[in-house]
Amino acid sequence: MANGSNLYRCLLVFWATSLVLFVAALHSVWQGNVVDCLLAGLVHVICFPLIHREMPLAQIPTLGLLVVGLAVGYQAIDLSFDIQVLHGRPGGEGGGTDSLSGRQVAWLYYNTMLNALPVNLGLLLFLLVGQFGAVAGFTRSPATVRKRWIRLFAFMCAGNGGYLAYVVPRYIAIRASTTFDEGLFDGWHAVVLSRGLLFVALGAAARELSLLMREAPMVVANGVKSQHH
């Protein structure tokens, strides 16, 4: 019981530290506003049950698959506009949407989407459910299952690492822009490659989560045993 209490206290410290770091990063690095910071706090509160000692371990992989599906949907839509950036029409004379170039269409989409509250809520849910779910799953699972959580963590670090390095800086610039600029989309091939890597990572993560769901009865049984020691 003492070990369980110490673990729970460590998870609480991790949760509080994550909240502080996320808000600080949103404000100073990602140029977020007050609403973004409040949204990060709200999503941390929503995700708090994931680290609670009463949270059934068997439910965490299911929630993980849901947010992976959410992320795949987001990325598939973004990829459609990536194609507009790389292969869209050059634009024409006259008015209306038919005169817009592929890059202009993409700018309208990304500038609107990145400033939309529901979209940012979904992105934060994906990041934080994955973060707290993986930490809770790893720390509370038996040793025989932890290797899957380690692989899951490695896959998501690889996918999110490239995304943070090559995609997020572009998104920050587009979100802050008030008028269209062709230069915002120069070298967009790197964004597409990073998105492709994220797709691969999400697929690998989904596989690990599916296997964890199959092993859920064993995880639950071992979790019950550990609570009695």
pLDDT at 4 > cutoff 60: yes
pTM for the predicted model, two decimal places? 0.85
Among residues 112, 124, 108, which one has the least CA distance to residue 26? 124
Q: Which residue has the tokens 């507009």?
A: 84
Q: For the range 41-50, what are the long-range contacts, defined as Cβ-Cβ under 8 Å and sequence gap of 24 or more?
A: 43/121, 43/124, 43/125, 43/128, 44/15, 44/18, 44/19, 44/128, 46/125, 47/125, 47/128, 47/129, 47/131, 47/132, 48/15, 50/129, 50/132, 50/133, 50/136
Mean pLDDT of all residues in the chain? 88
Q: Which residue has the higher pLDDT, 177 or 95?
A: 177
Q: Token pair for residue 4?
A: 């369980």
Q: What pLDDT sits at residue 3?
A: 67
Helix (H) or strand (E) holding 116: none
Q: Calculate mean pLDDT across residues 92-100.
A: 61
Q: What pLDDT sits at residue 98?
A: 63
Q: Are 62 and 216 in contact (CB under 8 A)?
A: no
pLDDT at 218 > cutoff 90: no
d(CA 181, CA 84): 15
Q: What is the CA radius of gyration of the chain?
A: 20
- Per-residue pLDDT of 116-132, as tens digits, reads 999 999 999 999 999 99
Q: What pLDDT sits at residue 17?
A: 97
Q: How far is CA 167 from CA 120, 156, 184, 221, in A?
A: 15, 15, 12, 42
